[in-house]
Amino acid sequence: MTHVTERVDQAIRDRPADPHGAAAAPIGLVRPVVEEPRRRSPAVTLALRAILPVAIFLLWWGLTGTGAISGTELASPAATWDAFVDLLLHQNLIGDIGISAERALFGLLIGGGLGLILGVIVGLFALGEEIFDSSLQMFRTLPFPALIFLFIIWFGIGETAKVLLIALACLTPMYLNVSNGVRNVDRRVVEAARTFGLRGWGLVRKVILPLAMPSILNGLRFAAGISIVALVFAETIAANLGIGYLVTQASSLQQVPTLMVCIIIYALLGIRADVVVRIIERFSMPWRRHMAVR
């Protein structure tokens, strides 16, 4: 990959000026186009990331501790912690978290994978856009919570309905970002790669997909976040395991501290999904680290 992109990059740099006298703009495929800024220490970065969560926690503590908000409306941090310990010791909280994470992951893999394939097809081929784009744009406007009862009728109340509902929610954000990224790849780079003999799948794998990688990972980040949102609705389908099951129980019994625990767990699952995407980005596009403004 490196030697191909270096040759393509050099070919574009050597391209003659256009008829109006403007030199061709160099395309940096390997080296960053922005000089590496001064980096902050990990401790300072961690402190900056913690400012807003700590402020929210202090506000939560202050409002519930002073009685500005009653415990029947919003559980205090202490009551929420007690509920968490009770769930951890007397119920299978770890197992429920694992079941919910598994549902979200499978839905993301199915919906994100299908969105990736369709996005590449639509981005590369005009025929693919004519066949798929209008239908997928229609799916984008469908509120997936409204499909819950249809999914129950079609797939029953088992895991299939839950996973497919999450997959449907993840499909369109992945598709939109991938198709846009592939469609907007610089055609000068593609033509330069063709002069070196790259054709077909080799051209897609070595040139187009790497250049579209920022959009692909952006779509993955959106889809990962939406998978958690869809999980909340999917677990209302007659779940007897998972965080949604705990939410249903707590709602029926008006256990506000348990509801707070479940909300925090959903938020942590979302954070974990975002961290995983960031790790993938770090390894697949190492040059992006040097382009970030610190």
Could you tell me the residue ranges of all domains in the chain?
Answer: 80-291
pLDDT digits (tens, 9 = 90+) for 131-185: 888 888 887 777 777 788 888 888 888 888 889 989 988 998 999 999 888 888 8
pLDDT computed for residue 287 by the predictor: 61
Lowest mean pLDDT among 98-107, 235-244, 257-266: 235-244
**Alpha helix stretches (DSSP H) within 91-158:** 93-124, 126-128, 134-140, 148-155
Answer yes or no: is pLDDT of 42 > 80: no
Q: Which residue has the higher pLDDT, 47 or 266?
A: 266
Q: How confident is the model at residue 109 (pLDDT cuts 50, 70, 90)?
A: very high
- Between 56 and 43, the higher pLDDT residue: 56
Q: What's the pLDDT score for residue 9?
A: 52
Could you identify the residue written with the tokens 């066949």? 131
Contact yes or no for 78/61 (Cβ under 8 A): no
**Cα–Cα distance for residue pair 206/197, rounded to 1 Å:** 12
Neighbours of 177 (CB within 10 A): 24
pLDDT for res 271:
86
Q: How far apart are alpha carbons 148 and 152 in whole angstroms? A: 6
Q: Which CATH superfamily is domain 80-291 in?
A: MetI-like (1.10.3720.10)
How far is residue 84's CA from residue 76's CA, in Å, rounded to a whole number?
12
Q: Rounded CA gap, 285 and 122, in Å? A: 24
pLDDT value at residue 17: 45
pTM of the model as a whole: 0.74
Q: Are 152 and 161 in contact (CB under 8 A)?
A: yes
Q: Treating both helix axes as pointing N-terminal to C-terminal, what angle do 2-13 and 187-195 enclose, rounded to 10 degrees? A: 110
Q: Which pLDDT band, with edges at 50, 70 and 90, does 56 fall under?
A: confident
Comparing 284 with 264, the larger pLDDT belongs to 264
Two tokens, residue 184: 């907007």
Query: Which pLDDT does position 205 carry in this prediction?
Result: 77
Over residues 248-270, the mean pLDDT reads 87
Mean pLDDT value across residues 287-293: 53
Instruction: Give the angle subtended at the CA of 192 by the CAs of 190 and 198, to the nearest 5°.
Output: 70
Highest mean pLDDT among 31-35, 202-206, 242-246, 258-262: 258-262
